[in-house]
Amino acid sequence: MTTPPASRARRRRARRIALRWTALLGGLALASGALLVLYGVSLVDGALGGSGRPPCLRVTSAPWTLRSGEAWSPEWLGRVLQLHGLREVTPAAPRVGEFSRLGQALVVVGGPGAEPPGAVIVRWRATGVWLEDPAGRPLQLLRLPPVTVGTTDAAGVVRWPVSIAQVAPALLTAVVDVEDRTFLSHPGLSLRGMLRAAWHNLASGSVREGGSTITQQLAKNVLLRPVRTLPRKLLEAWLAALIDYRYDKRRILQAYLDRVYLGQDGGLQLHGVEAASQRLFGKRAAALNLEEAALVAGMIAAPNRFDPFTSPGEARRRRAAVLEAMVRAGHLAPADRTEAEAAPLPTVPHRLRWPAAVSFVDLALSEAAGAVGEVGTHLEPSFQAAVAEGCVAGLRRIEQRYPHLVGRGEPLEVAVAVVAADGRVLAVTGGRDPHPGEFNRAAAARRPVGSLVKPFVVAAALHAGRTLEDPLEDTPLRVPTPGGEWSPRNSDGTYRGQVSVREALVQSLNVPIVRLGMDVSLPRVEATLHAVGFAPPPARPAVLLGAFEASPLEVARAYAPLLNGGVRPELAFLATSPRRGSGALSPWVAQAVVEALTEVPRRGTAASLAPRVEGWLAAKTGTSDDRRDSWFVGLRRGFVVAVWVGFDDNRETGLFGATGALEVWREIDERIPPAYRP
């Protein structure tokens, strides 16, 4: 039967309409797919091509150098090596980042960044330490790289990005072998892993296993929320395929190692293997050995569960599983696995923010505006440790001796600044228990300097033609001022008749120093004070006894010219800070004043130090009116230590410089390596 022409026409029209709709819908689907792909690519590029969470600033100390001929004992050298991140081990052949005692010698392996990076043998001779390589060839020096002392964070997260070249090869191998052994060959997804996970999920009736590749984990970490649902797993797989299409395997692995969550340090979340390596071992990811790399790789699966400090048994079993995975993959010999399994776990975490250095780090970061990556500083760990420990011990000693200082309002406070003669700031503490971001007394607490001004009154007099042996009258004195007559008195209330300029300085006598300053003229003394960095008010005779304010850092800077040929340096926290200075005192004046100050700890106001302190030392005590502020400045060859002790509310302490701040300085000085205080 022949189909009527009208019917055929309707069918042809219907086919044409269907084809048009098919083409339209297909075009819309293709366009939607293209837009979806473009959107996915933009997400991936935004996460991996950009910076994701902003990287944090890592604050580091100064490098440390040991030179042949220096006077170090084995005990002091071992302590300093530990402060610079090296671990003491018992085997005679230490590995990277370790040192050991070998008879009458030390064997030190600094590793990446050290000079030389290999083993250095330290021996002791009559002339000092002797350095040589394992072949017995003499070395001039051993230089260790900076250590981490602080960090910034981004909303409580710390991330220090590093390149693949800055990660130990053992760690790269361990991560791939235990997390995704087909990483180098699959297209972002592992069919075998997905089928295994699907079977386990069906068996359990819920999403319990992800079968995620490294690429999928990266997509989850940077683009998705940490929830386990089927739609999210499909989205994760799609994004992983896009990541694998857009980036090579090195870039994907680097991004993964930079962003993977690896536990906490206090209230800080650690993202990336570099931050984790610092917390676990106090070293960079480039310096990890085999068992350390296996521990870090193992923690990726469950950082809190496999934390060696809280769950050492779990951590040890997980490390063994990683080593076994490396053996199965053919990347590790069974004998090396056995040796690595026997290695001890770390027992004490290395804080990303060294508590001893928080005051210094705050000041360094305030100077590092615009810095990126690593902020190198002049901090010397041995000095900073001495300051932190010495302040605790010194305050304890003072409060035991003077119980009235305890339990009445806010506690007694302390601030310390250690400044090299050339202006490098070596150590700082801003309080008895400093925390990041708190009030930093070393820089911000400006208190009356009291008798610390007297060396500069004498310096002004020497510039004016006086000498240290010139006589001064130590008799009652009345000084007219706009507010009435001022009658300064000596701290002990007595007068000695006639004394020399030297004696007035060494014994810190008020009346003869005021008489000397008035004879020289206030403007001349004020000019000298301004030259060394103080800011006294004009035309006030009380300035001659320190009636003006300065911070401990300003005090240390003012005393630095006495060790620096009269040149006042600018304070430098950062290794990149330019070294500048200006002439403040004539070299001979600086030398004469500091020579007189060497008598203060022998027979002057700091004579209590005479029986115990060794080496060259110049010093000055300081006390403000009503004994509200106790100061002590100790000058060793090459550096100044300025100590302030007092109450924040300006209450009387009853302490002189010699009974308060001097005790803190004594405790600090005893903890500074003797090689730095010859």
The Cα 169–Cα 172 span in angstroms is: 5
Q: How many CA atoms lie within 13 A of 60 on its CB side?
A: 24
DSSP 438-506: S--HHHH--EE-GGGGHHHHHHHHHHTT--TT-EEEES---EEETTEEE----TTS---EEEEHHHHHH
Neighbours of 152 (CB within 10 A): 18
The catalytic residue among 61, 68, 98, 179 is 179
Hunting for tokens 């090195």 — which residue is that?
A: 250
Is-contact 668 651, C-beta < 8 A? no
DSSP 154-180: BTTEEE----GGGS-HHHHHHHHHHH-
The Cα 236–Cα 219 span in angstroms is: 6
Helix (H) or strand (E) holding 667: helix 661-671
Identify the three-state secondary structure at position 578: coil
Degrees, nearest 5: CA angle 482-488-489:
165
Of 92, 74, 64, which is closest to residue 130 (Cα–Cα)? Answer: 74
Q: Are strands 479-481 and 484-486 parallel, antiparallel or unpaired?
A: antiparallel
Task: Assess whether 311 carries a catalytic annotation.
Answer: no
Which residues make beta-bridge pairs with 102?
105
DSSP 582-614: EE-S-HHHHHHHHHHHTTHHHHSTTGGGTTT--
Is-contact 632 657, C-beta < 8 A? yes
Ramachandran sector of residue 446 (left: φ over 0; alpha: ψ -120 to 50; beta: rest): beta
The Cα 107–Cα 139 span in angstroms is: 13
Neighbours of 336 (CB within 10 A): 15
For 251, residues 6+ apart whose C-beta sits below 8 A from its C-beta are 48
| Residue 36 token pair | 């979806």
Amino acid at 295: L
Q: Are strands 98-102 and 105-109 parallel, antiparallel or unpaired?
A: antiparallel
Helix (H) or strand (E) holding 219: helix 214-223
Chain length of the chain: 678
The Cα 565–Cα 568 span in angstroms is: 9
User: CA–CA distance from 146 to each of 58, 162, 420, 423, 426 (Å)?
Assistant: 11, 16, 18, 19, 13
Of 515, 516, 390, which is closest to residue 462 (Cα–Cα)? Answer: 516
Helix (H) or strand (E) holding 513: helix 510-520
User: CA–CA distance from 675 to each of 82, 280, 612, 664 (Å)?
Assistant: 16, 31, 17, 20
Task: Assess whether 487 carries a catalytic annotation.
Answer: no
DSSP 390-402: HHHHHHHHHHHH-
Amino acid at 600: V
Q: What is the CA radius of gyration of the chain?
A: 34
DSSP 328-342: HTTSS-HHHHHHHHH
The catalytic residue among 190, 277, 359, 451 is 451
- Max Cα-Cα span within the chain: 147
Active site residues: 179, 451
